[in-house]
Amino acid sequence: MQATTVNIIVGSHVWVEDRDTAWVDGEVTKVNGEKIEVQTTSGKKVVANLSNVYPKDTEAPPAGVDDMTKLSYLHEPGVLQNLATRYELNEIYTYTGNILIAVNPFRRLPHLYDTHMMEQYKGATFGELSPHVFAVADAAYRAMINEGKSNSILVSGESGAGKTETTKMLMRYLAYMGGRAATEGRTVEQQVLESNPVLEAFGNAKTVRNNNSSRFGKFVELQFDKTGRISGAAVRTYLLERSRVCQLSDPERNYHCFYLLCAAPPEDIKRYKLGNPKSFHYLNQTNCYELDGVSDAEEYLNTRKAMDIVGISPEEQDSIFRVVAAILHLGNINFTKGKEVDSSMPKDDKSRFHLEMAAELLMCNVQGLENALCKRVMVTREETIIKSLDPDAATTNRDALAKTIYSRMFDWIVEKINNSIGQDPDSKNLIGVLDIYGFESFKANSFEQFCINFTNEKLQQHFNQHVFKMEQEEYTKEEINWSYIEFVDNQDVLDLIEKKPGGIIALLDEACMFPKSTHETFTQKLYQTFNNHKRFSKPKLSRTDFTIVHYAGDVTYQADLFLDKNKDYVVAEHQDLLNASKCPFVAGLFPPLPEESSKSSKFSSIGTRFKQQLQSLMETLSSTEPHYIRCVKPNNILKPAIFENQNVIQQLRCGGVLEAIRISCAGYPTRRTFDEFLDRFGLLAPEVLEGNYDEMTACEKLLEKKGLKGFQIGKTKVFLRAGQMAELDARRAEVISNAAKVIQRQIRTYIARKEFVALRKAATHLQTLWRGKLARKLYEEIKREAAAIKIQKNVRGYHARKTYTKLRLSAIVVQAALRAMAARNEFRFRKQTKAAIIIQAQWRGHRSYSYYKSMKRAGLSVQCAWRSKVARKELRKLKMAARETGALKEAKDKLEKKVEELTWRLQLEKRLRTDLEEAKAQDIAKLQLSLQAMQVQLDEANATLVKEREAARKAIEDAPPVIKEMPVVVVDTEKVDLLTNENEELKTLLKSQEKRADEAERKCAEVQELSEERLKKMEEAESKIDQLQESFQRLEEKLSNLESENQVLRQQALVMSPTKGLSGRSKTAVIQRSPENGHLLNGEIKATASPVPALKDAAEAEQRPQKALNDRQQENQDALIKCIMQDIGFSGGRPVAASIIYKSLFHWRSFEAERTNVFDRIIQIIGSAIETQENNDVLAYWLSNTSTLLLLLQRTLKASGAAGMTPQRRRSSSATLFGRMAQGFRTSPSGTGLSFSNGGMIGGLDALRQIEAKYPALLFKQQLTAYVEKIYGMIRDNLKKEISPLLGLCIQAPRTSRASLVRGSARSHANAAAQQALIGHWQSIVKSLSNFLKTLRANYVPPFLVRKVYTQIFSFINVQLFNSLLLRRECCSFSNGEYVKAGLAELEHWCYEATEEYVGTAWDELKHIRQAVGFLVIHQKPKKSLDEITHDLCPVLSIQQLYRISTMYWDDKYGTHSVAPDVIASMRVLMTEDSNNALSNSFLLDDDSSIPFSVDDISKSMNQIDLSEIEPPPLIRQNSAFNFLLPRAE
């Protein structure tokens, strides 16, 4: 691939080569002719040649594309970036056309390979779902079935790239589709995979690059019969690298089995005389003996176990490892010159020891082995000549023997594995899986690498032809001209290697046949022959190396060992020696040869044999339809989340992926559908979009207008030549740039005007401020002038007032002086007069006061004497009151103690309180009496005082006038006040005691409330205990009921056989039947002692009326069966058939009969009626009847010997009839809720008796239960089948081209019709749901069952939509989320109209798809945190599901991004932490098809049924035997 050299301008985003990361992206900063300067995203500035850069698609989806043919630029860096982006998101599979690229994640991803995922890819169109290995397997299987042609799947890649795991997944899916049952407990897939450890031990080895490289090709055939079922399998091996047994290069190893045997247990090592690997020549040619992290001892034991599994017996295993040990001993046999000329012999005792050990292990003659190694027999016409071999020839002879033995042993192991698996010789169709080594290029490349790369050249040619064929099919499908496209072929390289004569292999064989040829003469011959060949070159500094230009790159080979490794002799001595071995295994490896081929030794070329086997493989592949899977190892340290670009790009080259891209680039590498093309480039010619053109014409006109040549217009796509996409993108970028300039010009104009307006506004504001400042300054001047005038006025007034005041003060001083002199004279006169008056007053007062004091002393003496007398009397009373107060305090103390001690005794405290109140009342009464007495005394004292005052007043009146009256103080009032205060203190103390008593009463009430609460809790606990005991008793009763029913069944099973025997001998037994219905009475069989003639006649006489009764009963049953075979409808919402069946069976007492066939006949009628599974109306009719009849039986029947009890809800997990028998027997009815007017049953629940059911009735009930569940499942599955195709159309909205939406108003009606068609799929689902609901309601199916049906249907819708959403990236878009959301709104509206009675909580079953769609249509996803997403937006979805949606999301409407990278990283961490949980890793949902109800559920959910007023159908109404069905008149 060459980079494009056009349309790289400054600002273009390009890819440039980088030594560390292969390619790095950047932006062009300078273009200088053919040189450009790029600023890379890593921060470097790189100068590159214009021809070595690639354009970058800046509009590529952030999560990459699932098919790299969808890339806008299909080149090496674009492919690498897409793989790296998807690998970071755990999207390990990517398509390139129909080629699958699988990148090894180096971690467990069980959710990608479970049964749910296989179910999703089953029958899906290739490319419809996300890329997956199952899609390739399904495509191969479908092609084989539909076209009848065998298919092959070629899995290639390095060791560690995941080829084995991919092969395993392919076979798992094919086994899932083929459906072959396991053979001896193991499936074909398991048997093939179990052979891998054995084949790896004997066919894998360490190479320079890989520790476990397959050194052979493996083609696994899965054989199918005509019906597509696996009928056999086989493992074909090709191209085993035989030379590795004898020759190694450092640091490689020989085949694993040699090292495993050297690490075997000591007893095996002793038996085979082995030791350290370093002691064996075939192993010590390198310095590598062990592998890191691998224990050869454990691998030896594991290999032994694997050999046991594939059917290799211990004796055969022992023989195999004897041969392996013998090969090691053969390698240690060295030769020296013998006694004769050109002869040889074992070099020393050590060599002879190994010779003897090899002979012992091969169980052949020691001397014969020596002769076979050191001598050669030549047969001529005259005689047989024995020729001795020199040491070099003997060594070559030894190595030839070792290689022959090992290769034949490997072929035997493969054949043994095939015999163990089992092949189908009649199979005509097969699917083969090829697992073969990949392209190799090391520092030192020898003959092995030459053969391997030759194989890969052959496979690459096959691959190129397939890719070109696919390109041709694509072009033919689109009806475009592709005749001038050249096919990229590597036939010249193949001719260089294999052409006869003159090819490298032919020249090598020719050189090997000449004894004197050396590697130097061989290489010189190559130089001369291919001097001018463009694929062959000679290194400058080497004389024995040559270089071949392969499709994956140049490889230089060292020819030093080419001749030795190519030589392989078929030696007759070896054949005869080992054929005569005493070991059957060794002798079987070398069967006798035909006479003509056993006479002499012949030269055999390994290269020629290799070419022949390769040709056989290519013929096998050519006879099949190929499919390709390229496995890629992202890093060499085998760690997850590491993507090494250099390593991956080398594998893509070696795997031919880049070669396939080169083939695509030779034609039309860029393909876009019309709508995508117009969406992206419609802006280049808007007038084309505005015109009334269809999409094809619009695309063609757009390309013609832009002057592009060489493009092709297909039926649905535009095909562009290499470079044309870049040119269109450049022109698109130019248009967008011009549009951006226009937008920038408008924005700048807007900004400039905005700035001008702002400046103008600012200037106006400044002017306003300045003018205001000037006005304020003028105002200030005017104000200052007015202030000055005012100040002058005030100053002048001040001076005038000051003069006036001074004059006035002077006049006043003069006046004051004159008036003061007159006043002093007046004062002097008055002062003299006043002094005389005061002296007179003082004298008079002194005389009156003296008289008063004498009178006061006399009055006081009289008062004191009297008051003392009264006080002493009062004191005595008060002392008595004080003693009573002390008693009150003691009572108070006792009361406090009693309150503290007896707070819980409320009644006692109340009595104390009553006593206290009485004492208080008495004390108060006493105090009141004392107070009244004192009041009386006080009144008497007051009266006395009044009298004394009157007397005093009279005395004062009689006394001289100078005596002044003085108040009299009563001393006794102080004692009264003291007593009053004490009384108040006592009252206060009494109140405090009352408060304490109230507080104690409150605490007592709280304690009483707490005790009452605890008492209530104890009562509740006791009630719960009683309920549990009752439940336990009911369970025990149920258990006893079960045991009794089981006992009835067992006894009936034991009695049935002898009963049949007795019934067949009418001479020895008389069967008594009820005269009413002809059934057996209680199963009694009366056997006669002997066949007496009299008894025989009596029995015959008795049987005649009995037979008549039986015939009549049979007629009644026939009438009933004939009636219920017809659709007799419903009466008042109740099924008539169920009613008359139940009434008739109850009336005939069939439930109590030991033997009757009426139940079987009813079951047969139901079974034949529902054979037509597509008729939902019939199914609904019988679901209504069977569920009603089952309800009646459930509430009526009980097992013999068991008491009735209330049925308890208990689900049964068994879905089979006999698995449900125990479930049906565990309950017995508590009442039927039926109302009968005759037939032995009366109305009312309590009056109805339960029936002791016998075995036939119980079996009938279980069969009826099975039919209810079967009919329910058929109805549910029919609805699923009807809506399933519609769901596939509802998950993805058809993309409407933007061009078609802008072509004028003429398209508006068409767009409206298109929108109506889009929602029409959802409306079709709603219509199906409504029709089903109408059918169920018309047949009066119980609402409980209807709710269950729609709950499971909505769960099915949720699973299908959600799984499809997660498997299709195109569905995880914003517009598609809006489309699905609109459809879900239709379903929600239907649920609302259907009412909760029939739909229930079915809407809640859509929670997964609702939350997923809600997440798709929310805006600003990058701003949402992980906590918001997991707890608020999508709490139901798991981390794996959220991660899947987040990484697949793309916004086709607004171009927004998904959640933030740190949220994605957090999700990845959580997924890694929980990677061991297989269930949590699965992001797909599982559809539940179980039966979601039990008999108890039906019994509890359905209401009471009144059968009394149901009119029987006319067919039996006229039959007098069915009069019991007629309702009674009132």
Q: Give catalytic status of residue 1320 as yes or no.
A: no
- 64, 160, 656, 1400: the active-site residue: 160
Q: Which residue among 158, 189, 241, 440 is the active-site one? A: 440
Of the residues 152, 210, 455, 1499, only one is catalytic, namely: 210
* Gap between the Cα atoms of 664 and 470, Å rounded: 10
- Decide: 1072 and 1063 in contact? Cβ < 8 Å: no
| 1091 in Cβ contact with 1067 (< 8 Å) | yes
Q: Which of 72, 151, 164, 1373 is catalytic?
A: 164
Q: Dihedrals φ, ψ of 67, to 5°?
A: -130, 120
Active site residue: 4, 195, 207, 214, which one? 214
123 is catalytic: no
Give the DSSP per-residue string, 1039-1089: HHHHHHHHHHHHHHHHHHHHHHHHHT-TTTEEEEE-TTT--EEEEEEEE-S
Per the CB < 8 A criterion, the answer to whether 1416 and 1391 are in contact is no
For 519, the 3-state DSSP assignment is helix
CB 53 within 8 A of CB 40: no
214 annotated active-site: yes
End-to-end C-alpha distance for the chain, whole angstroms: 101
Q: Is 802 left (phi over 0), alpha (psi -120 to 50) or beta?
A: alpha
Q: In sequence order, what are the beta bridge partners of 311?
A: none
Question: 1501 an active-site residue?
Answer: no
210 as an active site residue: the answer is yes
**SS3 readout for 100-161:** EEEECCCCCCHHHCCHHHHHHHCCCCCCCCCCCHHHHHHHHHHHHHHHCCCEEEEEECCCCC
Q: Using an 8 Å Cβ cutoff, are 596 and 429 in contact?
A: no
Catalytic residue among 207, 213, 395, 1041: 213
Q: Are strands 625-632 and 99-103 parallel, antiparallel or unpaired?
A: parallel
d(CA 1387, CA 1405): 12
* Dist. CA 660–CA 490, nearest whole Å: 12
Residue 250: other Cβ atoms inside 10 A: 11
Q: Which residue has the tokens 């890379």?
A: 40
- 1144 catalytic per annotation: no
Using left for φ > 0, alpha for ψ between -120 and 50, and beta otherwise, residue 1340 falls in left
Question: Is there a contact between 1462 and 1419 (Cβ–Cβ < 8 Å)?
Answer: no
| Total residue length of the chain | 1530
d(CA 200, CA 216): 10
Q: DSSP states of 726-779 as a string?
A: HHHHHHHHHHHHHHHHHHHHHHHHHHHHHHHHHHHHHHHHHHHHHHHHHHHHHH
* DSSP code for 1499: H
Closest CA to 1275 of 1218, 1201, 1328: 1328
Say whether 1239 is catalytic: no
Region of 1235 (left: φ > 0; alpha: ψ -120 to 50; beta: rest) is beta
Q: One-letter amino acid identity for 757? A: V
Catalytic residue among 26, 97, 331, 438: 438
Q: How far from chain centre, in Å, is Cα 989?
A: 79
SS (H, E, C) 277-346: HHHCCCCCCCCCCCCCCCCHHHHHHHHHHHHHHCCCCHHHHHHHHHHHHHHHHHHCCCEEECCCCCCEEE
Active-site residue flag, 1282: no
Of the listed 72, 156, 159, 624, which one is catalytic? 159
Q: Which of these, 1376, 1173, 1161, 1154, lies nearest to 1263 by C-alpha position?
A: 1161
Q: Is beta strand 93-96 parallel, antiparallel or unpaired with respect to 99-103? A: antiparallel
Tell me how far apart the alpha carbons of residues 147 and 941 are, in angstroms, rounded to a whole number.
Answer: 145
Q: Identify the residue whose tokens are 């046999």.
A: 333
Please, is 805 exposed, middle or buried when counting C-beta atoms within 10 Å of its C-beta (0-12, 13-18, 19+)? exposed
Tokens of 1253: 């059911």
What Rg, from alpha-carbon coordinates, does the chain have?
58
The residues annotated as belonging to the active site are 159-160, 164, 210, 213-214, 438, 440
